[in-house]
């Protein structure tokens, strides 16, 4: 029999480890095998009885046990049974050593868990061979077991990895396709939580302005235990894992949440056992944390690459959040721009002061979300609400009137001309809470500035603490600029409208009064015309009688021979003639008023007509040393006109020229052919060097009974300087000229009784009368 070389251990090149053999035998002689096995490099332990064997098997971790059957105390079978019943020693192969050669003993040995049998007296080589074989089988089994375990682990890891890859890819898709920040975060936490069956997944974001780390999205298996979205932790309390991670930009791991620094697991989510908090990193800066809790212990291991994979997910999420935030800001900017443009257009299209403020609040809500809003106009030290939105029972809420006190929030805005943002009104001494209004913690006040002056402000509130951002304030201010202009315009328009209404009312009242006065005047005028008509008719008969008798008297020799009587009679005759003339004039006027002038047109030579009239006035012209020149009249063509009426025209114009020109003055009558409303006509101008007429009276002098002189100056002398008459001459002139389809007007620089600027009466008459032409 060859003794295997001590180097035989190299038979197991995969296992370099030194094997330990426990030999259990009460007989010292049998232990000689000990040194033999030692020489083959085995570590040998010895036990002298069953109890000691159990102890050494537990403590010494033998790879194989050589067990004697016959021993005092626990025998070999019993010892083996006990070894097999302990978890720690169950797998150690046991080889029985005995002199018993009975088959039944051998069978019993196998039954209690032995793997082999060595018969005493012991053959060293046999022992060595069996030991080697069983160690080798044992090692192989172990190896196989290890390999199976490895495979199992690898499989688990692969499954996990595939879930991670799937999640990551789904996450990738979602984060690029969803731009709504809240929706994005909610989807992400749900996805991670369901894919990995975590107990809780939450996204916390750092909100510097609110001084808090805020839970923005969460998902978990214990729905009822979940803290509400918006749940906050103070930004300074780094005892909380999420705050710590936010500060340090590193992950935090605990596998015993009871002992860890504070987390939701310690507060509300007690079933959680392990917690992994990962920073949401953008450019080496943390914007918040991804909080993962598991109800399995040791879910995350520091050396595990899971953390790396989850951190990659967290990075992906962080970038997506930042993008969504940028998008949100961008969206808001765009909405603001659109809204400003729209507000400008829509609001200025309505200038109704009752509607504009309400619309302002409506439009503003699209740019800066708020829950309660007011538009206030300032009058002295009081702010008067002109529109409110979001109040309990809004329609019925009375419009608010808020007086401004020194140091309060409203005064701060009025003084600074800047928006004021309160994250929590209960922390501000300048805040006054109305008892009947439910408290809203966040407040944003924005001044309405028009022409560098605060005309009022907009007050916006939200229920939660720190709900408005600086961005909101900037947006609201930009909006307020536009709103202030629109409000200012609307109130100006309102003022103008009010003034207009007042004015219109006054105009209507005045018109009514004028109408009444006009009607009275018309009645008076009619009465006057009737009076003239009646009087002149009534006067004509007695006048004719007086005239007849005086003419009869005039031829009586008794009168003719009595110079005094003749003089008196001449006076009567002159007076009667004048009266007759006046009565005729009055009749002409009455006829003109009644539009009863009947034209009897004939061909008329103007030069002749005027010449004859001048003839009549020769004595007067001489008496007053006046010259009267008829220039350019001869060349005028004859015209169609009523000769008697035309006589009256020139008679009146010339008599006026004589009357209103001082002694020694000059009267000229000019004429020329003109085009008059596309018809041939003559224009005759009677000029004098008299007192002139104020341009203010140029139209009025053609009205009947109109005189610029004083009634006291009236005299019966028809051609006396400034003699004055009844004020009917020019009214008759105009009536006659209009009846001929012509026009009359006067030109004179001014009325001046020293400088004598003179007057020029223009008469235009068509050559032919339409009816006769």
Closest residue to ligand ADP in the complex (CB): 725
Residue 732 Cβ vs ligand ADP, minimum distance, rounded to whole Å: 8
Q: In terms of CB distance, is 278 or 691 closer to ligand ADP?
A: 691
DSSP codes of every residue in 6-65: GGGGGG-TT--SPPEEEEE-S-GGGGGHHHHHHHTT-EEEEESSHHHHHHHHHHH--SEE
The Cα 372–Cα 375 span in angstroms is 11
The Cα 522–Cα 516 span in angstroms is 10
Of 147, 150, 129, 128, nearest to 139 by C-alpha is 147
Residue 723 Cβ vs ligand ADP, minimum distance, rounded to whole Å: 8
Count of H-run helices and E-run strands, the chain: 19, 24
Q: In terms of CB distance, is 216 or 659 closer to ligand ADP?
A: 659
Q: In terms of CB distance, is 676 or 706 closer to ligand ADP?
A: 706
Contact by Cβ (8 Å): 445, 427: no
Residue 603 Cβ vs ligand ADP, minimum distance, rounded to whole Å: 28
Report CA torsion sign: 563, 569, 573, 579: positive
List of residues contacting ligand ADP (CB under 6 A): 652, 656-657, 660, 688, 690-691, 693, 701, 706-709, 724-731, 759
The Cα 106–Cα 83 span in angstroms is 18
Q: In terms of CB distance, is 74 or 654 closer to ligand ADP?
A: 654
Residue 493 Cβ vs ligand ADP, minimum distance, rounded to whole Å: 50
Q: In terms of CB distance, is 294 or 707 closer to ligand ADP?
A: 707
Residue keyed to tokens 């600074």: 416
Residue keyed to tokens 């936010």: 246
Q: Which residues contact 23 (CB under 8 A, 6 or more apart)?
A: 31, 33, 34, 37, 44, 45, 46, 47, 65, 66
Q: What is the DSSP letter of 223?
A: G
Q: Which residues contact 470 (CB under 8 A, 6 or more apart)?
A: 209, 421
Q: In terms of CB distance, is 151 or 713 closer to ligand ADP?
A: 713
Residue 690 Cβ vs ligand ADP, minimum distance, rounded to whole Å: 4
The torsion angle over the Cα atoms of residues 251, 257, 261 and 265, rounded to 10 degrees, is 90
Q: In terms of CB distance, is 268 or 715 closer to ligand ADP?
A: 715
Q: In terms of CB distance, is 79 or 536 closer to ligand ADP?
A: 536
Q: In terms of CB distance, is 206 or 731 closer to ligand ADP?
A: 731
Residue 724 Cβ vs ligand ADP, minimum distance, rounded to whole Å: 5
Residue 729 Cβ vs ligand ADP, minimum distance, rounded to whole Å: 3
Phi and psi (nearest 5°) for 26? Answer: -85, -10
Phi and psi (nearest 5°) for 381? Answer: -100, 20
The Cα 719–Cα 690 span in angstroms is 13
Residue 680 Cβ vs ligand ADP, minimum distance, rounded to whole Å: 28
Residue 702 Cβ vs ligand ADP, minimum distance, rounded to whole Å: 7
Q: In terms of CB distance, is 290 or 667 closer to ligand ADP?
A: 667
Residue 546 Cβ vs ligand ADP, minimum distance, rounded to whole Å: 23
Contact by Cβ (8 Å): 280, 286: yes
């Amino acid at each position: 029999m060859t003794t295997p070389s001590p180097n035989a251990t190299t038979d197991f090149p995969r296992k370099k480890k030194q094997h330990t053999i426990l030999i259990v035998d009460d007989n010292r002689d049998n232990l000689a095998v000990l040194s033999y096995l030692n020489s083959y490099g085995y570590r040998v332990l010895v036990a002298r009885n069953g109890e000691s064997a159990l102890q050494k098997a537990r403590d010494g971790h033998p790879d194989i046990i050589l067990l004697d059957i016959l021993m005092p105390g626990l025998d070999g079978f019993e010892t083996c049974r006990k070894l097999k019943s302990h978890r720690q020693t169950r797998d150690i192969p046991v080889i029985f050593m005995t002199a018993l050669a009975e088959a039944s003993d051998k069978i019993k040995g196998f039954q209690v868990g032995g793997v082999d049998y060595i018969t005493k007296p012991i053959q060293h080589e046999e022992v060595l061979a069996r030991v080697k074989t069983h160690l080798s089988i044992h090692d192989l089994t172990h190896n196989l077991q290890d390999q199976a375990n490895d495979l199992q682990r690898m499989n688990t890891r692969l499954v996990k990895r595939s879930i991670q890859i799937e999640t990551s890819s789904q996450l990738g898709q979602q984060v690029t396709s969803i731009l709504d920040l809240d929706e994005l975060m909610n989807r992400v936490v749900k996805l991670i939580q369901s894919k990995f069956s975590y107990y809780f997944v939450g996204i916390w974001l750092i909100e510097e302005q609110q001084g808090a780390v805020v839970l923005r999205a969460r998902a978990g298996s214990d729905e009822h235990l979940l803290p509400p979205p918006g749940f906050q932790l103070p930004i300074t309390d780094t005892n909380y894992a999420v705050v710590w991670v936010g500060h340090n930009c590193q992950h935090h791991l605990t596998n015993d949440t009871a002992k860890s620094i504070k987390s939701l697991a310690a507060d509300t989510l007690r079933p959680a056992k392990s917690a992994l908090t990962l920073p949401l990193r953008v450019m080496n800066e943390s914007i918040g944390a991804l909080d993962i809790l598991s109800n399995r212990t040791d879910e995350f291991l520091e050396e595990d690459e899971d953390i790396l994979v989850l951190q990659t997910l967290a990075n992906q999420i962080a970038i997506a959040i930042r993008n969504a935030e940028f998008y949100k800001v961008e969206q808001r900017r765009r909405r603001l721009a659109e809204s400003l443009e729209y507000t400008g257009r829509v609001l200025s299209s309505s200038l109704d002061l009752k509607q504009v403020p309400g619309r302002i609040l409506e439009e503003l809500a699209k740019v800066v979300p708020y829950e309660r809003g007011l538009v206030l106009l300032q009058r002295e030290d009081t702010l008067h609400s002109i529109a409110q939105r979001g109040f309990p029972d809004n329609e019925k809420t009375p419009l608010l009137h808020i007086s401004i006190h020194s140091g309060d929030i409203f005064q701060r805005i009025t003084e600074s001309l800047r928006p004021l943002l309160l994250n929590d009104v209960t922390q501000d001494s300048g805040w006054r809470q109305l008892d009947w209004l439910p408290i809203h913690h966040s407040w944003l006040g924005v001044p309405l500035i028009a022409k560098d002056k605060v005309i009022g402000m907009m007050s916006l509130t939200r229920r939660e603490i720190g709900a408005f951002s600086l961005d909101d304030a900037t947006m609201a201010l930009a909006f307020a600029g536009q709103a202030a202009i629109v409000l200012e315009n609307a109130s100006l328009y309102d003022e103008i409208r009010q003034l207009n209404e007042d004015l219109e009312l006054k105009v209507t009242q005045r018109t009514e009064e004028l109408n009444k006065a006009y009607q009275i005047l018309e009645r008076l005028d009619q009465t006057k015309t009737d009076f003239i008509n009646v009087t002149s008719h009534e006067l004509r008969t007695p006048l004719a009688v007086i005239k007849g008798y005086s003419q009869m008297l005039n031829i009586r020799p008794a009168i003719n021979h009595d110079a005094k009587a003749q003089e008196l009679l001449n006076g009567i005759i002159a007076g009667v003639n004048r009266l007759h003339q006046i009565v005729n004039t009055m009749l002409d006027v009455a006829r003109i008023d009644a539009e009863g002038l009947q034209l009897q047109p004939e061909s008329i030579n103007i030069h002749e007509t005027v010449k004859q009239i001048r003839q009549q006035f020769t004595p007067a012209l001489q008496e007053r040393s006046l010259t009267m020149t008829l220039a350019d009249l001869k060349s005028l063509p004859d015209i169609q006109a009523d000769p008697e009426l035309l006589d009256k025209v020139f008679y009146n114009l010339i008599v006026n020229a004589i009357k209103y020109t001082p002694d020694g003055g000059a009267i000229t009558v000019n004429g020329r052919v003109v085009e008059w409303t596309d018809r041939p006509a003559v224009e005759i101008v009677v000029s004098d060097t008299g007192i002139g007429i104020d341009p203010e009276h140029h139209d009025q002098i053609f009205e009947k009974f109109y005189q610029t002189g004083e009634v006291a100056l009236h005299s019966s002398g028809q051609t006396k300087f400034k003699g004055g008459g009844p004020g009917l001459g020019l009214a008759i002139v105009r009536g006659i000229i209009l009846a001929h389809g012509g026009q009359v007007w006067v030109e004179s620089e001014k009325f001046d009784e020293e400088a004598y600027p003179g007057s020029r009466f223009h008469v235009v008459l068509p050559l032919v009368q339409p009816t006769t032409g």
